[in-house]
Structure 1
Amino acid sequence: MSTLALQKAGLSKAQVIAATTLGTALEYYDFTIYSFFAIQIGQLFFPAASPVNQFLLSIGVFGVGFVVRPLGGIVIGGYADRVGRKKAMVLTIMLMAVSCALIATAPTYAVAGLAAPFIVLGARLLQGFAAGGEFGPGTTLLIEHASDTTRAFFASWNFAAIALGIALGAVVATLVNAALPKDALLAWGWRIPFLLGIVAAPVGMLIRQRLEETLGDHTAPHACATCDAAPSSNTGRYAALKAALTTHLKLTVLGTFAELGGSVSVYITAFFLPNYAVRTLHLPQTAAVVSGIVSSLVLFAAAPLAGKLADRYSRKRVLVVSRVILLVTVYPAFAWLSAEPSTLRLCAVSAFLAVFVAGHIVPVLVMIPELFPKPVRATGIALTYVVSASFFGGFSPFIASWLVALTGNVLAPAWYVAAACAVSLVPVIWLRDRTGETLA
């Protein structure tokens, strides 16, 4: 959408970005806050288990959110391609608010028996479904609101919002843990962050209602921007999904593997590295929390910069340079941290890696939707990003931990990140770079 169109809609560029990404930040705050209170939730909802099993069961319930994310991406992405991006984004924030309310008000095992853990499980499934459905419509709407020379910058804010939501969750969790004694935290304090998520959701919904819909006439035939496939009509509830898996299958597969390196690197650096520092390098828990906040804030700041560079110097150039730098520096960074572990070194490594993680995630996240035609765009980005993030990224901490145990080498996770970056460089060769081009 042009600047003139934005002015007619009564929204500035900054307001469009804020309206789109505020909800994303709130949703990922809601989605991740659970992990910070897994111990308390385990004690209250799985009391019959041992302390270790309580934690494992609680983390298992957290993990189911990742399992349903691809389903949310497919269903809500298709909804966005069928009825509109704005309606899909309002729906996701409503679903996240409901799931947050379920957890915040859930009766404990002592009150409701076996129904208690099932309520939490249902809420986590709903959260995962909503989080999976958020990214496709949000990124698509930002791209379609941007001009030909600002698409990467606009799209970068959706990834920045994810980082901001994670950082916000870590900060709130830290403040609640510091302000309340353990008894109060276990009795009621753990519910406070979830209640905050409920209160913030209506604000995001109201802001998103002001957005201008960008889908337009979505009944026209459409063809792939990177292949020779014939145009296909976009009619029916599952037409966008069918098109992504048939007419645009090559692009869907290439996009998923092109995003593999980003998914693995962000989960290793933002989620695995802090816990690795505590378990393997024996740093204090506070070091993990602080480094997690630092990493998320650097990702938040670096993402828009990567978008600006991708608009100016092309998607592929920024993507390849950042991915290669990360590939060759991740092992020395891990080795430097392991040589003399400290909170300062952990934060320095987290911040350094986060810069290049953003540098190679943002360009590919805008390249993929630029290549899909408008009637399939939200579904296409949902399939490639959510599937990559859920399966390649979501299992990365487990794989990295398994590699350390298997090899006895504490630097094995670095080799894993480097390998993922190398593999994901290959499909980029076949992806067309549409920097500065006008989208249909």
Structure 2
Amino acid sequence: MAVSASGLAAVRPTGEQSRRAIGAATIGNVMEWYDFGVFGFLAGSLALNFFPRDDPRTSLLNTFLIFGVGLVFRPLGGIVIGRMGDRRGRKPALVLTILMMAVGTVMIGLLPTYSAIGVLAPVGLLAARLLQGFSTGGEWGGSTAFMAEWSVEGQRGFYTSLQQMSVAGGSLLGVGLAALLTSWIGVQAINDWGWRIPFLLGGLFGPIGLWLRRRVDETPPFREVLAEGEGAEASTFGHAARAFGFTVLWTVSFYVFLTYMPTYTRTQLHLTAAQALWASTASLLALVVLVPLMGALSDRIGRKILLLTSCALCFVLPIPAFYVLTQGYGFASVVWIQIVFALAISLFSGPGPAAIAEMFPTRGRSTWMSSSYALAVAIFGGFAPFVSQWLIDVTGSRMAPTAYVMAAAAVSFWVIAGLRETAHESLR
């Protein structure tokens, strides 16, 4: 048993306690990110139902704009819910986020379409997306802090990687359901009414997630900080600035290679809607498998080597990969290239949650980590599908999204190269 700065005994979680708490958080995360991610996978259907159908390209851009604008509320959610997590505890903050997400998701599933209520339809869609964005702003940082603080020393990379595995798992559940529905009832039925099904099912996750999260205990480091009071080291703007730059590639690669790809492969490569969704399902499945492996590897060899390798791959791979995609080699080549992208992302997403949590002292970790991460996602990630589509429209080149990914890789490489290795240090 360690001793904190205040002289109080510092309780460290046992393996059994960690597994129980992190298991509950992981399952809740899957549900949360299913609700959030399904919007991107059904963007084509939403565009047809919430905007005029006489200009499909503009309608799709507007839908991606709402996708991005919804993320503008993430920093606000990160500040408000993150502060709640630092003042009242990680547990009540996570209970709040899953309830808010469920409400926003059901709203989308129940909204009347443009043909029924006109311009009020996209306004309602935006309101629901803003609520989802506010929720995720607190969810990501809160759940990452919760998992890091419940982790057993020496296994923090593995345990916190389950946070990113659950993000990918929720997205996998969303895209897999969309693919199954599209294959089963057809594109026309999906566009007419079937798009509502994944959103309405998402509303069922709220009570389940609430039950799971109410059963877990508060984290030991948070309880220690409460006991230490003002004597505990506090997070600062400097910590947040580093976390912001750290996150740029993380969010851009995820939203370009995973969220935007079903739309890209359908509209630019002329895959069928079902093929585009199944290709993304394969890449997300690979990500779910690879992320915890990379998290565990980072506990052994360190975080930085994997993070810098991911940045290098995301700078080198996009041009040759997109060149192959645009040569028309078909569905199989799309699947394999998306799996390669999943590997590159896993090198970041595996060690990433532990590395960003280790940047911050426990006092203020939830607020500063949530807000800095959410701000980077709002600026660079949430608008990534919009920017990608806009670049293609402006340049006329299907290769255009590569420039955005490569620029993000360069920024994050520079930031990470200046960080110290923290894999074998205790949380402060």
TM-score tier by shorter-chain length is 0.7 to 0.9
Structure-2 change in CA distance of 1:58 and 1:392 (3 Å): closer
**Structure 1 contact 82–218 (Cα < 8 Å) conserved:** no
> Structure 2 CA distance, aligned partners of 1:210 and 1:160?
22
Correspondence 1:191 to 2:200: no
In structure 2, what residue type is equivalent to 1:381? M
**Structure 2 contact 182–274 (Cα < 8 Å) conserved:** no
1:88 shift after superposition: 0.6
Match of 2:103 in 1: 98
1:199 shift after superposition: 1.5
1:204 to 209, 217, 220: 209
1:173 shift after superposition: 1.7
Correspondence 1:432 to 2:420: yes
Structure-2 change in CA distance of 1:357 and 1:34 (3 Å): closer
Q: How does 1:269-348 map to 2 (within 5 A)?
A: 269-348=257-336
1:221 to 230, 255, 271: 230
**Structure 1 contact 334–414 (Cα < 8 Å) conserved:** yes
> Structure 1 CA distance, aligned partners of 2:357 and 2:266?
38
Q: How does 1:33-432 map to 2 (within 5 A)?
A: 33-42=38-47, 44-46=49-51, 54-108=59-113, 116-180=121-185, 185=190, 188-214=193-219, 215-219=222-226, 220-221=229-230, 248-432=236-420
1:383 shift after superposition: 2.3
Structure-2 change in CA distance of 1:141 and 1:111 (3 Å): same
> Structure 2 CA distance, aligned partners of 1:366 and 1:111?
47
1:295 shift after superposition: 1.7
Bigger drift between 81-90 and 124-133 goes to 124-133
Aligned length: 414
1:118 shift after superposition: 3.9
In structure 2, what residue type is equivalent to 1:368? I
> Structure 1 CA distance, aligned partners of 2:377 and 2:340?
21
1:149 shift after superposition: 0.6
- Superposed CA deviations along residues 391-438 of structure 1, whole A, max 9, x for unmatched, are 112223333344445555443433432332122111123322221222
Structure-2 change in CA distance of 1:358 and 1:183 (3 Å): closer
- Superposed CA deviations along residues 285-332 of structure 1, whole A, max 9, x for unmatched, are 333212211121112111101101111101112212332233333332
- Superposed CA deviations along residues 152-182 of structure 1, whole A, max 9, x for unmatched, are 1111111111111111111212223333367
In structure 2, what residue type is equivalent to 1:134? E
**Structure 1 contact 266–357 (Cα < 8 Å) conserved:** yes
Highest relative contact order (Cα 8 Å, sep 6+), 1 or 2?
A: 2
Match of 2:34 in 1: 29
In structure 1, what residue type is equivalent to 2:82? G
**Structure 1 contact 80–88 (Cα < 8 Å) conserved:** yes
**Structure 1 contact 371–432 (Cα < 8 Å) conserved:** no
**Structure 1 contact 306–362 (Cα < 8 Å) conserved:** yes
Match of 1:17 in 2: 22
- Superposed CA deviations along residues 111-150 of structure 1, whole A, max 9, x for unmatched, are 6676555443322211111122110110101000111211
**Structure 1 contact 295–347 (Cα < 8 Å) conserved:** yes
Task: Give the TM-score taking structure 1 as reference length.
Answer: 0.85
> Structure 1 CA distance, aligned partners of 2:94 and 2:251?
23
> Structure 2 CA distance, aligned partners of 1:438 and 1:350?
36
**Structure 1 contact 283–341 (Cα < 8 Å) conserved:** no
Matched position secondary structure for 1:426: helix
Structure-2 change in CA distance of 1:347 and 1:40 (3 Å): closer
Matched position secondary structure for 2:424: coil
> Structure 2 CA distance, aligned partners of 1:393 and 1:171?
22
In structure 2, what residue type is equivalent to 1:161? S
Bigger drift between 191-200 and 39-48 goes to 39-48
Unaligned runs of 5+ residues in structure 1 are 224-230, 233-243
**Structure 2 contact 163–353 (Cα < 8 Å) conserved:** no
**Structure 1 contact 222–375 (Cα < 8 Å) conserved:** no
Q: Percent of aligned positions with the same letter in both sequences?
A: 36
- Superposed CA deviations along residues 249-275 of structure 1, whole A, max 9, x for unmatched, are 222112211221222222221133343
> Structure 1 CA distance, aligned partners of 2:401 and 2:53?
35
How large is the RMSD of aligned CA atoms in angstroms? 2.7
Structure-2 change in CA distance of 1:165 and 1:431 (3 Å): same
Matched position secondary structure for 1:70: helix
> Structure 1 CA distance, aligned partners of 2:277 and 2:33?
17
Matched position secondary structure for 2:230: coil
Unaligned runs of 5+ residues in structure 2 are 1-10
